[in-house]
Amino acid sequence: MTTELVRQASEAAGVVVRDPGAIQFLANDIDYRVREVIQEAHKFMRHSKRAKLDPSDINNALRVRNVEPLYGFGAPDEFSFGTAGPGVFHTNDEEINLDDLINAPLPTVPLDISITGHWLAIEGVQPAIPQNPTPHRDVGSRGYSTVKSESLSDDSAAKAIVSQVMSKELQLYFEKISGALYGKEPRLVDAAIDSVAGDPGINQLVPYLVELAAERVTKQLKSLNVLQSSMRLLRALLGNPHLFMEPHLHSMLPTILTCVVGKRLGDPASDSYSNHYDLRSSAATLAARICTKHTSANNSIPSRTVRTLLRAWLDPTKPFVTHFGGISGLGAMGKEAVRSMVLPNVQAYGALIEKGLKGDGGEMGSSLEAKRAMDMVVVRKKFARI
């Protein structure tokens, strides 16, 4: 590699190197790199049982050296080189006859585009574009079916209200999960929860499962088992790392807050009625989890949730169990929420709770329920001072 060739190549690239020593150093380095690539290419040639070096050998050698291979179109004919001076070579350009170029037939029209790319789903939600099937389209003959809303009963599996195209496999999965989740076997309930919490392929089922929990909570407020299973289902959905839950938080929150501040949860005649306090506390932590971990900066969910809990706690027409859920939810929101929302209203709430402790609460509840609400206030007050 001569220094003159290196100097002319650098000038053609717009880089002027005036130091002769630098040009000589570049020439030596280029000579070494070219020899290194050719030696590496010879290895590929010998491994391929060929006696002639091929351009693919050069590309493979460049890849081995972590150098981007050469791209472009190869010429069918060999290049002919001419000389423009001592040490300067160039390829001879073919002379083109303009008459032949003008009289040449036009090239054929290229074919229409037959393969294009489009978004099948974005974060588990299928966009409404012409390439994707429409929800009302009848595709039953292709192995798909449509899930439509049906009325809930104790003996039938709940169906989602939203009509959406869903594969038979997912529909079967939904029926199995809903049947096991609200069944009477704890082993099947645990298996269903574990499946929802870790399955990466149920993005399309998320709105159905959220609506399933909402309908069960709305229609079966007297069954603590159903309410607890619904909260476990929503907690499993939020804990699944493969699901994008932010679009569904607004529909989940009313269901959760119902289990926090509902007037009557469970059957008062049953022996397990007192477990509704645990249900309220568990739902409160779930609501706080949504507000702290699953909402973006431009989301209004935290402020709406705090206002709902504060109104439920300070409303004198609500029963003491609702007050318990409200103060429990505010405490789950963190120390700052307790300091700004709970502590300034403790004194005003004291007069109301005093009547309940004396048994004068009336429809607000018994003295035992008033004591549970007062204990929760005391716990949150101590928590804020830690």
Which tens digit of pLDDT belongs to each residue from 301-334? 888 888 888 888 888 888 888 888 888 888 888 8
Per-residue CA distances from 128 to 73, 132, 166, 209, 349 (Å): 40, 7, 15, 22, 52
Indicate the domain borders of the chain: 1-73
Regarding predicted confidence, which is higher, 131 or 156? 131
Strand bridging mode 144-147 / 88-91 = unpaired
Assign residue 315 a region (left: φ > 0; alpha: ψ between -120 and 50; beta: otherwise): beta
pLDDT reported for residue 139: 42
d(CA 116, CA 114): 7
If we measure between CA atoms, which residue out of 244, 339, 228 comes closest to residue 296? Answer: 244
Q: What is the tens place of the pLDDT at every residue in 210-263? A: 999 999 999 888 888 899 999 999 999 999 988 888 888 888 999 999 999 888
Strand bridging mode 81-85 / 88-91 = antiparallel
pLDDT reported for residue 237: 92
pLDDT at 336 over 90: no
Q: What is the tens place of the pLDDT at every residue in 63-73? A: 998 888 777 65
DSSP track, 27-67: HHHHHHHHHHHHHHHHHHHHHTT-SS--HHHHHHHHHHTT-
pLDDT at 204 over 60: yes
pLDDT reported for residue 381: 58
Q: Which two tokens stand for residue 122?
A: 């974005």
Q: Across the chain, which distance is largest between two alpha carbons, in Å?
A: 114
Apex CA 321: angle with CA 320 and CA 324, to 5°? 90
Per-residue confidence band for 383, with pLDDT thresholds at 50, 70 and 90: low
pLDDT reported for residue 39: 94
* 181 neighbors 136 (Cβ within 8 angstroms): no
Regarding predicted confidence, which is higher, 368 or 277? 277
pLDDT reported for residue 362: 57
Q: Which fold has domain 1-73?
A: Histone, subunit A (1.10.20)
Q: Which two tokens stand for residue 324?
A: 């318990």
